[in-house]
Amino acid sequence: MSLKRTALVLALMGATALAGCGSVPVASTAGNYAKPIGTAPVTANPTDYSAALVCLNQYARANRVAAPRIAIGRIADYTGKEESDGSGRKVTQGASLMAFSAFAKAGMPMVERFDTSVSEFELKYANNKLISDRPNSAPDAPADYRKILAGQVPGSDFYVVGGITELNYNIRSAGIDAYAGDKDTDGLKGNFRRRVFIMNIALDLRMVNTRTLEVVDVISYQKQVVGREVSAGIFDFLNGNLFDISAGRGALEPMQLAVRALIERATVEMAANLYGMPGPQSCLRYDPFGDATVGQTGAFVPAYDNLGTNNAQTRDDPSRWNARRDPDVRDSKRGRY
């Protein structure tokens, strides 16, 4: 087959493919137009400091250290950096939520002060005698209204506030560009490019005594983020046909994960101070995953005596509860109990 005929066949195939892409979609019997791609399971989202947080919890329990109650306040983005296309902020607005997870990993008891809208709503209704604690099994049974008792809401001993204060782009970069080829206009040519750039992000947190408003701990950290890019290509005319082939690869360390690492490192230091832990060497004496209610995904309060099969360790398992990976769930879908 000649090159011209080959080019014609390829053009027709491309046109057919484009026509198929532009056709009107039809919903399947399952009710969807298309099946989403991607089957990666949900996994834990730890940083290099998550194991230390779990170790802190184990140390406190083993030594019977009374942990203070912690409240998380606003940890805002003070960098002011936004995407150039107006799609939003450069830095996560969920730093306070990351702090909740970090202190939970450390085993610190926490009280909610960040979003109390539901509690305030129910308190208002209870104050008007509109809310009862009637069990779900008896929706029509008479029930007394919920009582509001003095001192029923536990207070916090300390609260944490602060913000993301720096986001500096391209604090250092390096690269190389190479281009070589035949001096003739239709000769073989090639290029190679490699880039490395570094940026950083910084966090400032403070811990405040709730009763006295004394600032008892202040921590400032920064973390550098690295990005890499490599590409290469060739350009040539062959038998009257143009060939331009290029390939590349790039990677950028997740910036929002860097924020989580900053918060977890700060939490390690604050919690270690509150627990009176001498230092990382204490982790050698404890199993970081010895507590069945605390793991790298966070912590929970057991509602039932089922820690043997439903605990913090199982929450770290990426295959657990996954319809594709967990045989128990997969078999139950097929009707095998």
The 10s digit of each residue's pLDDT in 278-323 is 888 888 776 655 678 888 888 888 888 888 888 888 888 888 888 8
Q: Where does residue 171 rank: exposed (0-12), middle (13-18), buried (19+ CB within 10 A)?
A: exposed
Q: Quote the pLDDT of residue 253.
A: 78
d(CA 307, CA 57): 17
Query: Do the beta carbons of residue 53 and residue 271 sit within 8 Å?
Result: yes
The domains of the chain, with CATH numbers, are 42-111+154-333 (3.40.50.10610)
Q: Which residues of 299-335 are buried (b: 16+ CB within 10 A; e: fewer)?
A: beeeeeeeeeeebbbebeeeebeeeeebeeeeeeeee
| pTM metric for this prediction | 0.79
Kindly report, residue by residue over 52-102, the tens digit of the pLDDT: 999 999 999 889 998 999 999 999 999 988 888 878 888 999 999 999 999
| Residue type, position 243, single letter | F
Q: What is the mean pLDDT of residues 102-116?
A: 95
Query: Which residue has better confidence, 175 or 211?
Result: 211
Query: Do the beta carbons of residue 127 and residue 149 sit within 8 Å?
Result: no
Cβ-Cβ contacts under 8 Å for 299 (sequence gap 6 or more): 57, 104, 105, 107, 293, 312
Residues written for the chain: 337
Kindly report, residue by residue over 217-229, the tens digit of the pLDDT: 999 999 998 888 7
Looking up tokens 């990426």 gives: 318
Q: Quote the pLDDT of residue 173.
A: 76
